[in-house]
Structure 1
Amino acid sequence: MKQIAQLDFTCSDSDVRTLRDPRFYNRYIRFIAMTTEGGKTCSTVGSEVSRPSSSERFQMDENFFASLILPQQNDQIEWMVIYDNEHVEVFWVLDNSWVNEVIKTPCKDCLFVEFKYDEPIFGDLTISRGKANIAGEENALSKEFFFSGDSQANMLIKIYSGEKLKHYAQERVLLWGGLVSVLAGLVTAFAYISGKSLRKSITGLIENGISNTEFIPYYQAIVDSRDGKTVGYEALIRWSRRDGMVPPNMFIGAAEESGLIIPMTNQLIRKIIQDLSDLPEHTWVSINIVSSHLESGVLTKLLSELNWPISNRIHFELTERIPVKDTEAAKKEILYLTNKGYKFKIDDFGTGYGGFSYLQDLGIRCVKVDKMFIDPIGSDDQKLKVLDSIVSAANKAECEMIAEGVESQAQVEYLAQHAIYLIQGYVYAKPEPLTNLASA
């Protein structure tokens, strides 16, 4: 290593100049320090610096080692590279911020990703992104992730990386130069195939999608089974990228966790308001929101900025997936917006947080019965008893009910016997873009 070759290991003025030489000391390195055979120290920060406590080190090359700085020395994990020839020691502490920068740097055609649903409704549907031949490379690396849950379709995600990612990392190594960059390339390659990197990548793609207005509404009709007429629609968010549609289960959770669901929904609301003029005048549109829309007041702020648009045709569905933490703030917002003419529903009723307490605490008088309680109709499944309990309690509370995910006429008839007439599901209509509705 050139820097090592120029040191005389005495902490002389010449050594300090070499440590601080910009060819070797740049923003990817937090600081460099040296300990001489006699115990004297010098560093790039102008004062004596002892080597930070670290984990067990592992050898990278002759006399070169790598180690992690222990947490008590730093809030975030940092790598340290050590040169040790038994008489003197030089160590480089790497700035971890470059790792995030590298992760965000595009590596075109470096990955192949397969999304496979483990749900009967999807059959053998597999969606893939990236370069397919990577999976067949002799030395390809792969990592699998499995997601499951009542509110999501079970899904297997498999990520492949091959020679191109390896070469990409090596190119970055050459650009940065030296041993420090060798370690950076290794960390970068690992991050690309880790779950944490995947999550960060999805979040970054969502941010780009918002900037590029890629999130659009699809409309699924809600029909009154007594006369077969459409009374309204639920606006279901879809992600339309140049390379195809992204399944909602691949981004909704990440958007909710990161807080990006707020700007994403705000963008959708603006688009829906534009679309209302192309939908039948007697129909309304339900828009999904999360608790933070109400607790933070951002929904009221947006509607105020838009001059309180068409309140009699806009409804909001509060999902149970995320709990309402500030009930008083949410209740205040709902009351204020209700007085403005907007209506509220509880979505996914009975599947998450809140349930009947939302009816009592938030004053909402419409519930959407989730598909998981509709599916057992016609069987002796225990969930059918839960459905009957929901119907009974909602009737006592004088709540309007809408059934979601209805797929058969037998289900429609059963629901009608229990005074549920507003039906949403494939039995009547699938989600469609506005252009399809307008041409129907």
Structure 2
Amino acid sequence: MLTKQTTHQTSWCKAPWFHTLLIFIIPLLLAVLIHPQLAQYELESKLQEDLDFLAQSLIKQTTILATDEGKESFSQLSWSCNEADIALLKSAEFSPEMVRLVQMELASGEKCSNLSSPYYHMAQNTKKYPQSNIEVSISADQNPFLRDFIFEFPVGNHSLIAITNRTVFNSFLTDLCPNCYQVDIQYHGLPVVSRGKQTVSNTKNSRSVSHYIPALDLTQTLNSGDAMYQLFYDKIWLNLVCLSLVLSSLGAIFYWQWQQRRVSLESMLVNGLKNSEFTPFYQPIIDTRSHQIVGQEMLVRWRRSDGNLVLPNQFIPYAEDSGLIIPITESTLAQVKRDIPKLLGWISVNIVAEHLEKGLLSQWLDRNESCDTQRLCFELTERKPIENFDKAIIEIERLVFQCQGFKLDDFGTGFGGFSYLQKLGFNCIKIDKMFIDTIGTDDLKAGVLKSIIAFGHESKMEMIAEGVETQIQADYLSERGVYLHQGYLYSQPVGLDELLHFYDRYLNKEKAHEASHKASSKLTGRFPLKKIRFPKPPNLL
């Protein structure tokens, strides 16, 4: 019952519709997770941006009359409180938007205002701007939203009085964000003055940022409330949902296209098995000490019915993922069995972890056991790790007397490496082409090659070098005790007929070298060092 339930759960977890659902949901879940943080970040960025803008505006508005340009405009005043002076007070030149001039106070004590009546200002404390003769005070209202800044600009023995325009200041905040902001401005040592919406600082989602302005010696605090938070919350959520839907849709589309390719490739592989399109190719392995062919590795090739040859890297990884590598291996093993009487030495066949874990090799050998099949050996690839070592070890022990043994393919590049050798008891490693290519270069992996060779000698491992393509590589390996070579220097993977031709060419070359060796020995009385260079065969694929 438990096995059925587990199998059922596994099947729907692997179903394409389930994967599509995950691909569609994951971006939406991510949007839900990051939405609050992103909304908070955007809100605080907006608050800081607007606070900086307010600070610059406040500096400009409150100090413009103390600049040289402002002082020059004072020369237009007659300081007699006539109609021309009043008109100048009302002009935009004398009254910036946020701070307006309202009154002239003459040295005689006379006051003239552009208001309906003179403005009498009462304040408890007065302070001066840093590095300026401008005096600032706060009106005596109890409500900070009704308080005004009062600025006094001395001009000789006279002075000008200006106050902040609450209406303009509030409109200025409304333009930034309607019903969103409250700003608190406090000159150090003076009561706080507030503008904007009075209730925002007490709301659930209120936020605030502060900034000290050294030029005015004041701290300005910008507060936002629920309206501002909701504005950004909705805006960010809408953007995230739109982006998530786009990513979800694209992900689902790409997944289904990939799934269709997989289904298409799977059907092609299945049809290939039915039509016996998978054939064995062989790559000889040479012992450089005796210059004999000691064996070959069988490499599966897919020659489709239309004559096209599919490269291994285009179908082997998927065949392993889908489990089709098992019937493909069995199909090619049947062909190898027919070829064995014509082959020299042992024949290596690549296997995967599943072959060992499920006892598939012993089952096949029990059905096909003969003197010829005892020449087979198996190379364990490491693209997928072994999950059940106990069953793998049982399978290896069962096959000890039925085959030539086991080799660890692509040593140093897969999952197991040294642990596989220890647990499984292999006594032969194949050094991957990746490391052979570093010979004669400054590649950092050249040090790894030296370590692998040292390990092989120390552990008394048989070592086979894959991907030997140059005589320099062959000489380097032979000098370091790696005598079994496989690669394009000798032959590329070829079909049976071409392999037999290679045998003939190679053996004839060996006979010619032997004859030359004997003739040289008779003439010189000594035996010269024997070194055979093998030309690269023509491209047959």
Q: Do they superpose with TM above 0.5?
A: yes
Cα distance in 2, alignment partners of residues 203 and 242 from structure 1: 16
Partner residue in 2 for 1:345: 407
State the identity as a percent.
Answer: 46
Q: How does 1:83-162 map to 2 (within 5 A)?
A: none
Q: What is the distance in 1 between the residues matched to 2:318 and 2:305?
A: 20
The CA deviation at 1:340 is 2.6
Match of residue 297 from structure 1: 359
Letter in 2 for 1:270: A
State how far apart, in whole Å, the 1-side matches of 2:397 and 2:378 are: 13
Query: Which structure has greater strand proportion?
Result: 1
Aligned equivalent of 1:381: 443
Match 2:491 to one of 426, 429, 434 = 429
- Give the secondary structure class of the aligned counterpart of 2:399: helix
Say if 2:413 and 2:432, in contact at 8 Å, map to a contact too: yes
Contact 2:359 2:395 in 1 (8 A): yes
Cα displacement (A) at 1:396: 1.4
Task: Check if 1:204 corresponds to 2:264.
Answer: no
Superposed, 1:5-404 pairs within 5 Å as 194-243=257-306, 244-280=308-344, 283-308=345-370, 310-404=372-466
Contact 1:191/1:197, CA 8 A, preserved across alignment: no
How much does 1:192 deviate? 11
* Residues 1:75 and 1:195: Cα distance change in structure 2 (over 3 Å): closer
1:369 CA displacement: 0.2
TM-align CA RMSD: 2.2
SS in 2 for 1:317: strand
State whether residues 20 and 255 of structure 2, in contact with CA within 8 Å, keep that contact through their aligned partners in structure 1: no
Shift of the 75–312 alpha-carbon distance from structure 1 to 2, 3 Å rule, reads closer
Q: Which has the higher helix share?
A: 2
Please give the alpha-carbon distance, in whole angstroms, between the structure 2 residues aligned to 1:357 and 1:308.
33
User: Under a length normalisation based on structure 2, what TM-score does the superposition of the two structures give?
Assistant: 0.45
| Inter-CA distance 427–75: structure 2 relative to 1 (3 Å threshold) | closer
Superposed displacement of residue 307, structure 1: 2.7
Change (3 A) 1:285 1:396: same
CA contact (8 A) 1:351 1:370 kept: yes
Change (3 A) 1:386 1:212: same
Structure 2 counterpart of 1:238, one-letter code: R
Amino acid across the alignment from 2:415: Y
Superposed displacement of residue 377, structure 1: 0.2
Summarize the Cα distance change of 1:341–1:252 in structure 2 as closer, same or farther, 3 Å threshold. Answer: closer
- 1:217-243 CA deviation, whole Å, 9 max, x = no partner? 111000011232211000011001122
Q: Which amino acid aligns with 2:320?
A: E
In the alignment, is the contact (CA less than 8 A) between 2:319 and 2:325 conserved in 1?
A: yes
CA gap of 1:212–1:192, structure 2 versus 1, over 3 A, is: farther
- Residue 301 of structure 1: SS of its match in structure 2? helix
Q: How far has the Cα of 1:194 moved from its partner?
A: 1.4
Instruction: State the 1:397 CA deviation.
Output: 1.2
Distance (Å, rounded) in 2 between the aligned partners of 1:205 and 1:345: 31
Structure 1 residue ranges without an equivalent (≥5): 1-73, 79-189
For 2:294 and 2:19, the matched residues in 1 are separated by 54
Letter in 1 for 2:261: L
SS at match of 2:400: helix
- Does the 8 Å CA contact 2:431/2:463 hold for their aligned counterparts? yes
The structure 2 residue matched to 1:419, chosen from 481, 497, 513, is 481
Measured in 2, the distance between the counterparts of 1:329 and 1:315 equals 19
SS at the partner of 1:339?
Answer: coil
Aligned to 1:69: none
Measure how far apart 1:363 and its partner are.
Answer: 0.4
Count residues with an aligned counterpart. Answer: 256
Matching residue's letter, 1:207: V
Residues 333 and 214 (structure 1 numbering): CA distance in 2 closer, same or farther, change over 3 Å? Answer: same
| Aligned 8 A contact 1:273 1:309 in 2 | no
SS in 1 for 2:414: coil
Contact 2:341 2:372 in 1 (8 A): no
- Looking at structure 1, the residues matched to 355 and 256 of structure 2 have their Cα atoms a distance apart, in angstroms, of 34
